[in-house]
Amino acid sequence: MLQTRANVRLKKRKKIFQKEDAALYLMALPTLIYLLIFCYVPMGGLVMAFQDLNITKGIFRSPYVGLKNFEFLFRTTDAWVITRNTVCYNLIFIVVNLIISISLALMLSSLRSGGYAKTMQTIYMMPYFLSYAVVAIVANAFLDRDNGLVNSILRLMGEPGKTNWYHQLRIWPPLSVFVNAWKNVGYQTVLYLAVISGISVDYYEAAVLDGATKFQQACYITLPHLRYIVGISLILSMSSIFRGDFGLFYNVPMNSGKIYPVTDVIDTYIYRSLTYLNNVGMSTAAGLYQSVVGFVLVLVVNKIVNRIDPDSAMF
């Protein structure tokens, strides 16, 4: 008796769910349409990488040229330079930002005054919310040839102070690393602080009772607790190592041609090939190159994460 009543209820519930599915489809519809038009249709547009695109003929009637666009891309040293810049900068950013933000988080979490730590945290995070349009102007206030602070100070020190910093190859690698850290370290610090504040006080109390110094506590309790999230986020950031930060490398150096060898990344290259050179075929080819390598990286990285810690894997 009880059994059948439960069965009936179950059937009834099943029926309700099916009838209700219509509402779910309706709610999903806008996003599905969006995904189709703005994500999946452009993926089809990647065929342009194999075409000699004539903009008036459009995608459907332009002739196919095989791998010519890729040949064009890889024949020059451009492909090598932009790949090197993109990958190397990203690797350096990851390491530098990690070291700075972990140090800041450790210091902030051990301060005696929580209020001071809060204020500092608020300040550090501010640049994260500025656009690269603004960051470029801030950088220019220092680097401008005529009015910039750097040249003014050089002049005060008796130097000519006439250097155009936007033409100096050697300052841009460290400068890019600095600007990137300036903008992003605060956000990472906040992230690590959140993890640190989640560590149980018991560990520290036990350590204190055993006579551990503050330094030992940091080394043997805090850092090991961070190891996990750091490891995972390091591996995960490997998957986006092929994506250059467009704003950082286009806006901040003011798109200065003289320093392309050290500032040009895949994303800025694609943008310029499209807007300045109007070479649709080759810029699509560069985009496809980026997407495919990026995709393979994500798959490899995910496989690795899956082996180390399945819970942190993306899929």
Partner 1 sequence: MAKEVKRVNKLTLLSKGWNAVFVIILFFMALLVVIPMLLILIVSLSSEISIADYGYTFFPSEWTLDGYRYLFKTGDQLADSYLVTIFYSITGTLMSLTVMTMFAYVIAQKKFKHSRLFTWLLFFTMLFSGGLVPIYILNVRYLHINNSIWIFLLPSLVNAYYTVILRTFIRTTIPDTLFEAARIDGAGHFRIFVSIVLPLFKTGIATVGLFNMVSRWNDWFTGMLYIQNPKLVPLQTLLTKLQNTIDFLKQNAAIAGTPDGIALLRTLPDENMRMACTIIVILPILFAYPFFQRYFVQGLTMGSIKG
Judged by CB under 8 A, the chain residues 202 through 231 that form the site for partner 1 are: 204-205, 208-209, 214, 217, 229
Report the alpha-carbon distance of residue 104 to residue 117 in Å, rounded.
Answer: 10
Stretch 126-155: interaction string toward partner 1, x if CB under 8 A: xx-xxxxxx-xxx-xxx-xxxxxx-xx---
Stretch 75-94: interaction string toward partner 1, x if CB under 8 A: --------------------
Which of 67-75, 84-92, 169-177, 186-194 is the region at the interface with partner 1 (rule: CB under 8 A)?
A: 186-194
Find the binder of partner 1 among 8, 169, 194, 219 (CB under 8 A).
194
Which of 14-22, 61-69, 75-83, 90-98 is the region at the interface with partner 1 (rule: CB under 8 A)?
A: 14-22
6 lines the binding site for partner 1 (CB under 8 A): no
Stretch 250-269: interaction string toward partner 1, x if CB under 8 A: -x--xxx----------x--
Instruction: Report the nearest approach of partner 1 to the CB of residue 191 (Å).
Output: 6
Which residues ranging from 99 to 118 are in contact with partner 1 (CB under 8 A)? 104, 107-108, 110-112, 116
Please answer whether residues 280 and 212 qualify as being in contact, where contact means their C-beta atoms are separated by less than 8 angstroms: no
Report the alpha-carbon distance of residue 231 to residue 234 in Å, rounded.
Answer: 5
Local structure of 63: helix, strand or coil: coil
Stretch 228-247: interaction string toward partner 1, x if CB under 8 A: -x---x------------xx
30 versus 160: smaller Cβ distance to partner 1: 30
- For the chain, how many helices (H) and strands (E)? 15, 0
Instruction: Report the nearest approach of partner 1 to the CB of residue 114 (Å).
Output: 11
Instruction: Report the nearest approach of partner 1 to the CB of residue 95 (Å).
Output: 18
Please answer whether residues 286 and 266 qualify as being in contact, where contact means their C-beta atoms are separated by less than 8 angstroms: yes
Instruction: Report the nearest approach of partner 1 to the CB of residue 88 (Å).
Output: 21
Report the alpha-carbon distance of residue 96 to residue 305 in Å, rounded.
Answer: 22
Report the alpha-carbon distance of residue 254 to residue 272 in Å, rounded.
Answer: 13
For residue 217, the surrounding DSSP H or E stretch is: helix 214-217
* Count of chain residues binding partner 1 (CB under 8 A): 103
* Amino acid identity for residue 176 in this structure: S
* Amino acid identity for residue 200 in this structure: S
Phi and psi torsions of 134, nearest 5°: -75, -45
What letters, b where the CB count within 10 A reaches 16 and e where it falls short, cover 128-147?
eeeebeebbeebbeebbeee
Which residues ranging from 267 to 286 are in contact with partner 1 (CB under 8 A)? 267, 270-271, 274-275, 280, 283-284
Please answer whether residues 246 and 268 qualify as being in contact, where contact means their C-beta atoms are separated by less than 8 angstroms: yes
Report the alpha-carbon distance of residue 273 to residue 289 in Å, rounded.
Answer: 14
Which of 71-79, 80-88, 169-177, 190-198 is the region at the interface with partner 1 (rule: CB under 8 A)?
A: 190-198
Report the alpha-carbon distance of residue 260 to residue 279 in Å, rounded.
Answer: 18
For residue 266, the surrounding DSSP H or E stretch is: helix 266-275
Instruction: Report the nearest approach of partner 1 to the CB of residue 53 (Å).
Output: 8
Instruction: Report the nearest approach of partner 1 to the CB of residue 76 (Å).
Output: 19
